[in-house]
Amino acid sequence: MWAPALLPVVRKVCGWAMKGPCIIWRLRRGIIQPGDHVVEPVTRPMPCITSLATALPAHRFTQSEIKEAMAGVCRGNRKMERLLPVFDRTGVEHRAFARPLAWYASGKTFETRNEVYAECALDLIDQATRECLARADIRPTEIDHVFCVTTTGLTTPSLDAQLCARLGFRPDVRRFPLFGLGCAAGAGALVRATDILRAYPTHRALVLSVELCSLVFSPTAESATDLIGVALFGDGGAAVLVSGDDVEGDGPTVVGTRTHLFHEAPDLMGWRFTDNGMRLILSRGVPEFVATAVKPIVEQFLDEQGLTVGDLQHHVLHPGGAKVMSTYRSAFGLEEHALRHAREAMRCYGNQSSASVLFMLHDLVASEQPVPGDRGLLMALGPGFAAEMLTLAW
Same domain assignment for residues 229 and 259: no
Q: What is the pLDDT of residues 221-252, one digit of tens each?
A: 667 788 888 888 999 999 999 999 999 888 99
Q: What is the mean pLDDT of the chain?
A: 86
228 and 284 together in one domain: no
CB 346 within 8 A of CB 90: yes
In a domain, 98, yes or no: yes
Are 85 and 223 in the same domain?
Answer: yes
- Tell me what the mean pLDDT of segment 188-203 comes to: 96
Tell me which residue of 212, 208, 214 sits closest to 163, measured CA to CA. Answer: 208
Report the domain count for the chain: 3
Q: What range defines the domain where residue 148 resides?
A: 49-243
Residues 193 and 334 in one domain: no
φ/ψ (deg, to 5) at 132: -60, -45
Residue 328 lies in a domain: yes
Lowest model confidence (mean pLDDT) among 17-21, 101-105, 184-188, 390-394: 17-21
70 within some domain: yes
CATH number at residue 385: 3.40.47.10
Residue 248 falls inside a structural domain:
no
Residue 24 or 174, more confident: 174
Mean local confidence (pLDDT), 24-46: 50
Q: Model confidence over 356-394: pLDDT tens digits?
A: 999 999 999 998 778 899 999 999 999 988 999 999 999
pLDDT at position 353:
93
Q: Where are the alpha helices (DSSP H) in the chain?
A: 3-17, 19-29, 63-74, 78-83, 101-105, 110-136, 159-167, 185-199, 224-232, 286-289, 295-303, 322-332, 340-349, 356-366
The reply to whether 352 falls in a domain is yes
What residues are annotated to the active site?
A: 183
108 and 185 together in one domain:
yes
Q: Do 119 and 92 share a domain, yes or no? A: yes
Q: Minimal CA–CA distance to 250: which of 2, 55, 10, 17?
A: 10
Q: Which of 29, 100, 8 is nearest to 304 (CA)?
A: 29
C-alpha pair distances (Å), 305 with each of 30, 197, 380: 15, 20, 19
Q: Is residue 9 part of a domain?
A: yes
- Tens of pLDDT, residues 102-143: 898 887 888 999 999 999 999 999 999 999 999 999 999 999
Which pLDDT does position 375 carry in this prediction?
94
Instruction: Please tell me which residue, 28 or 153, carries the higher pLDDT value.
Output: 153
Domain check: are 209 and 64 in the same one?
yes
3-state secondary structure (DSSP) of residue 97: strand
